[in-house]
């Protein structure tokens, strides 16, 4: 009898516990399972995203999708970095839940999900919006760390701003709290091996010209060196910097050419010519410590050396005349109407004068006489 009573008590307790658990589950919000997407419906709607807002302590970045692609309104509608925008939209859609984290606001600072502007937080608020301004996805992005067992991915603490629950998710999210982080900062990608001649014409007319030492090389030699002068041994890199300066040209800022900076004065002009006939010209103005360049391109058939077509060193590096003409048109379409703030280290290369590059060779040192004078003999 005692065993029967004990069994009945255990059954009642078990039933009560089970009922309590059922009620708790019924009242609790739905919790995504590990591996599920944080925004399940976003992947099917990525093409509906027409506006992106990234808010940090420093500023709010606004990106908009126009007929020709994504642009940055704060930079007069200059193109945004298309790869980075794509990574953000698709990366948000592909975030997968690892586990729920805290829902206590007091603990948010530990994982950086309190939101931008709160107690000096470094978190960011990302909003992806549709054509009507409706939010397709919103999240506060906090601390991150490398994902375990998934190279290239991160484990990221996030929170939807309308919810108290935070999450640890896995995925790839490119972020940046400044407008300059989202601008397509590539101006030109003209390879060093392809560029033969570079000339810098300074405002007073002085010209510094360099030529590639040999086809498809990386080193340049200074032309028109004044008589009695030479590039000091070990300083040849200063010359080569000028030749390589137009390769992989990028910028710190951009503005409409119709809105030049206040107080701008004429700067240097750079002309770069390639083995296959492309000529790029950059005219600059200087405003304080910043140098802005306006670029243009053209095809000049007289620059093409037909004997180089069979040079193995230039194989796969040179383009046909038609391809270079098309390249010049494409570059002009991209550059037209813009002033680019050239990175300072690049403008420092081009600002070098002949006097900075050469000097008179030092005269040979006189040989010292180490023989000991012999005393006179009697």
Q: Report pLDDT for 349.
A: 95
Mean pLDDT to the nearest integer, 210-231: 93
Q: Which of 153, 87, 152, 140 is nearest to 114 (CA)?
A: 140
Count Cβ atoms below 10 Å from residue 71 Cβ, excluding itself.
20
Among 54-58, 150-154, 185-189, 256-260, name the most confident range: 256-260
Q: How far apart are CA 248 and CA 267, in angstroms?
A: 21
Whether 241 shows a pLDDT value over 70: the answer reads: yes
What 3-state DSSP class applies to 173? Answer: coil
What are the CA-CA distances from residue 279 to residues 215, 232, 272 (Å)?
A: 17, 30, 6
Return the domain boundaries, the chain: 43-181, 186-357
Whether 205 shows a pLDDT value over 60: the answer reads: yes
Mean predicted lDDT score pLDDT of the chain: 87
Count Cβ atoms below 10 Å from residue 346 Cβ, excluding itself.
21
Read off the pLDDT band of 171 (50, 70, 90).
very high
Identify the weakest region by mean pLDDT among 13-17, 74-78, 190-194, 339-343: 13-17
Give the tens place of pLDDT for each residue, 25-79: 334 445 567 789 999 999 999 999 999 999 987 789 999 999 989 999 999 999 9
Mean pLDDT to the nearest integer, 98-103: 96
Higher pLDDT, 44 or 307: 44
φ, ψ for residue 92 (rounded to 5)? -65, -40
Cβ–Cβ < 8 Å for 93, 39: yes
Mean pLDDT to the nearest integer, 319-343: 95
Whether 364 shows a pLDDT value over 90: the answer reads: no
Mean pLDDT to the nearest integer, 76-103: 95
Mean pLDDT to the nearest integer, 161-185: 92
Mean pLDDT to the nearest integer, 208-212: 97
φ, ψ for residue 298 (rounded to 5)? -155, 160
């Amino acid at each position: 009898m005692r065993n029967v009573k004990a069994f009945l008590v255990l059954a009642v307790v078990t039933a009560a516990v089970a009922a309590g658990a059922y009620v708790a589950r019924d009242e609790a919000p739905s919790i995504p399972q590990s591996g599920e997407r944080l925004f399940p419906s976003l992947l099917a709607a990525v093409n509906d995203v027409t506006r992106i807002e990234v808010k940090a302590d420093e500023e709010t970045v606004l990106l908009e999708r126009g007929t020709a692609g994504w642009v940055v309104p704060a930079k007069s509608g200059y193109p945004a970095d298309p790869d980075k925008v794509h990574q953000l939209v698709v990366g948000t859609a592909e975030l997968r839940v690892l586990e729920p984290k805290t829902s206590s606001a007091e603990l948010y600072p530990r994982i950086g999900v309190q939101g931008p502007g709160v107690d000096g937080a470094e978190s960011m608020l990302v909003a992806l919006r549709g054509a009507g301004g409706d939010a397709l996805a919103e999240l506060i992005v906090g601390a991150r760390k490398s994902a375990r067992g998934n190279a290239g991915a991160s484990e990221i603490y996030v929170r939807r701003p309308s919810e108290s629950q935070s999450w640890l998710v896995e995925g790839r999210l490119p972020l940046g709290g400044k407008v300059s982080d989202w601008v397509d900062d590539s101006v030109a990608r003209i390879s060093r091996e392809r560029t033969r001649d570079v000339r810098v014409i300074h405002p007073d007319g002085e010209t510094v010209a360099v030529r590639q030492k040999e086809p498809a090389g990386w080193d340049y030699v200074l032309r028109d060196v004044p008589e009695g002068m030479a590039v000091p041994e070990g300083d040849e890199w200063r010359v080569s910097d000028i030749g390589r300066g137009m390769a992989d040209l990028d910028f710190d800022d951009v503005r409409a050419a119709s809105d030049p900076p206040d107080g701008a004065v004429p700067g240097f002009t750079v002309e770069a010519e390639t083995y296959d006939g492309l000529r790029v010209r950059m005219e600059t103005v200087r405003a304080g410590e910043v140098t802005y360049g306006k670029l243009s391109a053209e095809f000049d058939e007289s620059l093409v050396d037909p004997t180089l077509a069979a040079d193995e060193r230039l194989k796969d590096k040179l383009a046909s005349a038609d391809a270079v003409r098309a390249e010049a048109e494409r570059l002009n379409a991209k550059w037209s109407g813009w002033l680019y703030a050239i990175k300072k280290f690049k403008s420092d290369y081009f600002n070098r004068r002949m006097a900075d590059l050469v000097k008179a060779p030092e005269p040979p040192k006189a040989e010292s006489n180490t023989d000991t004078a012999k005393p006179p003999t009697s």
